[in-house]
Amino acid sequence: MIDDIETLVRCESPSDDHDAVARSAETVAELGRRLLGIDPERLVTDGCTHLRWRFGDGPPRVLLLGHHDTVWPLGSLRTHPFEVRDGVLRGPGCFDMKAGVVMALHAAAALPDRDGLSILITGDEEIGSPLSRPLIEDEAETCDAVFVLEASADGGALKTRRKGVSRYWIEVEGRAAHAGLEPEKGVNAGIEVAHQILAVAALADPDRGTTVVPTALTAGTTTNTVPAKARVAVDVRVWDVAEQDRVDRAVRSLTPVDENARIHIAGGINRPPLDAKASSELFALAQKLAAGPLAEAAVGGASDGNFTAGLGIPTLDGLGAVGGGAHADDEHVLVAELPGRTELLRKLTETVLAQRSSSAPTNARGESGAGQR
């Protein structure tokens, strides 16, 4: 497994570089071919390459879900080389989530019967899955369980609750003018976007766990020109759908303070919340099958598991590597945890595949299997 993780980590795959993602997909495909004995389907959406393995003649009943893209730009291996030292594996994307991809393939390879299993490895998760979301939702629709190979929470906890995510871009259109000669003839988009930043930040509700954070900001062209355009990105995280809808309505209702400026809103709701009830029965099963105590966690980050849980499909997340430092300089995987976590995934998959639909874990709508949807 360490050798396989090294192979994937050394094939860099930033989400915004479709050529790099395509090379990574071929590397994952070769690994899957060796372990599973068959080639995956290559699903290319607007230039982005995803991989899918399906086993059996019927619709999928268990989906192993992961991604092979990372946030790390090409060349990151020069500053963050792959290494294993003192039981700690390091390298760009190892924790989030190339180790999880390897774990999924090894767990599937160890199954005595794969009938009803699907494995979907996407190539654009780190940018919000704009191209793979339909594939994910279609693949999950008939499933009794979705197991997400995202990295664990602190201490190896499984992720049984995730915040929903919305992303917006507030674009302000003003009017340029010379900043020294006649600034009064301009409409300052920078000042207007500052008003809008304060307005959206006020939508946060700490008591409900709702965060509304203005992030990337641009305005103007030169130091002596009144800015004609400005733009700010806004990141929203919420625990429940009602809050997500409230913030969405408020953002779309923003009006300019300067009547001569114009505002355009782009973006919207990206991922619904992953509610604990979508994970409860699968987490109980994992506790039963685990070799030792198993913790659960609620986290602010989202994953593709939010999509499947939003459909009402039982979803258990954070089944991937134990370690830390996702997206950060200290990204790492604890090697000693790899075998046990992979064995837990194998047991979970085998158990759900062996169940009849009538006794499968109920989904978030209270339905009890593929035959009920």
Q: What is the 3-state secondary structure (H, E, C) of the chain?
A: CHHHHHHHHHCCCECCCHHHHHHHHHHHHHHHHHHHCCCCEEEEECCEEEEEEECCCCCCCEEEEEECCECCCCCHHHHCCCEEECCEEECCCHHHHHHHHHHHHHHHHCCCCCCCEEEEEECCHHHCCCCCHHHHHHHHCCCCEEEECCCCCHHHCEEEEECEEEEEEEEEECECCECCCCHHHCECHHHHHHHHHHHHHCCCEHHHCEEEEEEEEEECCCCCECCCEEEEEEEEEECCHHHHHHHHHHHHCCCCCCCCCEEEEEEEEEECCECHHHCHHHHHHHHHHCCCCCCEEEECCCCCHHHHHHCCCCEEECCCCCEECCCCCCCEEEHHHHHHHHHHHHHHHHHHHHCCHHHCCCCCCCCCCHHHC
Residue 71 · residue 309 · CB < 8 Å: no
Could you give the residue numbers annotated as active site?
A: 69, 125
304 and 67 Cβ atoms separated by less than 8 Å: yes
Closest-CA residue to 119 (of 151, 150, 148): 148
> 18-36 vs 2-10: helix axis angle to the nearest 10?
160
CA 172 to chain centre: 29
Phi, psi of 235, rounded to the nearest 5 degrees = -105, 125
